[in-house]
Structure 1
């Protein structure tokens, strides 16, 4: 299902995005993590309004918004870390995500709920990122969700949780805490991640493997959809 509008929706506090390289007209961000509610909350925080609902979809969900003279494209995913999801389903979801982020995502925003993030989750998330590209970790930013418990000792314990620490290390120590996080800081860190990669996006391996088999008249999602505000693949 696709929902079309004439123009992307304007987002709030667009001045924070001046950190993006001037030659980038669109920022593409893929949301991954172990909680749909946390990912959708972060997506809505970035957009400044409720576009991602509490009801988790079966497929990838994409929302576009206008940031001054640039666009932001957020691609949220279903629960790819669920233990019952098959490898075939996982590959199909990754391929859908790749097509929606064509020609490739600039940043993977990894939203982690530390209380529930297990070693199995870490290994599965690592495998998912590797399905996109072996360079995915260079383009990843970890966002630690606000803990359910207010104890400072518990907060420190969650940050020292081995699966979380391991993933932060893999992502070149790029991480933020959601608690008391300002929108401007999150946008700035996304922009910094893009700049640290010289404005390049991830050229997804799973997509490249498919291109040789595509028919000559095949159109990319960008060619098929113009000015899409929201789409469900």
Structure 2
């Protein structure tokens, strides 16, 4: 007895930093409006949307950046378990959202974590890099040229994902252009699915999640039946227990997915503990190493304006610092463009 999702359905898991870029990717794919979901919901918990785009039935799952250094082991285990159960029996593609206007911040570790969680083929066969903030590029600058010339770090992410990347942002900003971008993305996903065996990701963690989901489906259906019978029958009446139908199981699948507990995810092995107190020498050494890494990365910056915004992001720290740094960099870039136009 099985209640697995229809085979024609494409399941996508959106991964990325907490903040602008990740959730809008899900909205863009399904043509949703931000108002259909609280602005902070996707930043604090996992979200699942069903819809249709480009004549395809889709499921899009997104959630917090569980691979970030600021995520505790308990939260990380909970987030990973939730994403797995919501995308069970397995996603057809992971979409790793990466801003092109900032240095990499854990995306390489995210790919390492996916490999440890789901097996060696998940990155090379089931992952696509989805670039955001491409409006920061110059008007005559193509994304592929930008990656090869200025951003070797981003190009390395693309290479790990079998050379697959995409962006949903269009310079025209027109709705038709967004629809075309979504269709192109889904075509890339389908091409990737054709080249994969099995068609969707399959591994022990997803097998465990699907088994738990099916058990919960049966429990929920029988509980609802018992509640209905208790309202209709007298205490002395007894009803024979009927088999659970496929339709009943499917009707409670979403509830069952959300009620699955933590899976057997060894986050300590995947993410070794590196917590230190801010006053310790090792913390200061780590900060110095981070600054040194940044200085080594500086030649890859495409513009001084991007450097300005990135430095703000570095010293402010956290999601707010990244958002503020991106904003500062964008404003500085626009000012620079206007100055350039005046001198022409």
TM-score bracket, normalised by the shorter chain, equals: 0.7 to 0.9
- Is it true that 1:173 corresponds to 2:163 in the alignment? yes
The equivalent residue for 1:71 is 57
Q: Which runs of no fewer than 5 residues in structure 1 stay unpaired?
A: 1-22
- Check conservation: 2:85, 2:258, Cα contact below 8 A: no
Measured after TM superposition, the shift of residue 125 of structure 1 is: 0.9
Q: Which runs of no fewer than 5 residues in structure 2 stay unpaired?
A: 1-5, 171-177, 221-247, 260-344
- Is it true that 1:142 corresponds to 2:129 in the alignment? yes
Provide the TM-score with structure 2 as the length reference. 0.51
The equivalent residue for 2:96 is 110
Measured after TM superposition, the shift of residue 115 of structure 1 is: 2.5
Provide the TM-score with structure 1 as the length reference. 0.72
- Is it true that 1:25 corresponds to 2:8 in the alignment? yes
- Check conservation: 1:133, 1:205, Cα contact below 8 A: no
Q: Secondary structure at the match of 1:45?
A: helix
The equivalent residue for 1:10 is none
- Check conservation: 1:25, 1:69, Cα contact below 8 A: no
- Alignment length, in residue pairs? 208
The structure with the largest strand share of the pair is 1
Distance 1:145-1:94 versus aligned 2 partners, 3 A rule:
same
Measured after TM superposition, the shift of residue 169 of structure 1 is: 0.9
Deviations 1:45-68 (A, max 9, x none): 111122455324422100011458
- Is it true that 1:189 corresponds to 2:201 in the alignment? no
Counterpart-to-counterpart distance in 2, 1:115 and 1:81: 20
Q: Return the match for 1:129 from 106, 109, 114.
A: 114
Runs (4+) of structure 1 exceeding 6 A deviation are none
Counterpart-to-counterpart distance in 2, 1:217 and 1:76: 24
Measured after TM superposition, the shift of residue 72 of structure 1 is: 0.7
The structure with the largest helix share of the pair is 2
Q: Highest Rg: 1 or 2? A: 2
Say which structure, 1 or 2, has more relative contact order (CA 8 Å, 6+ apart). 1
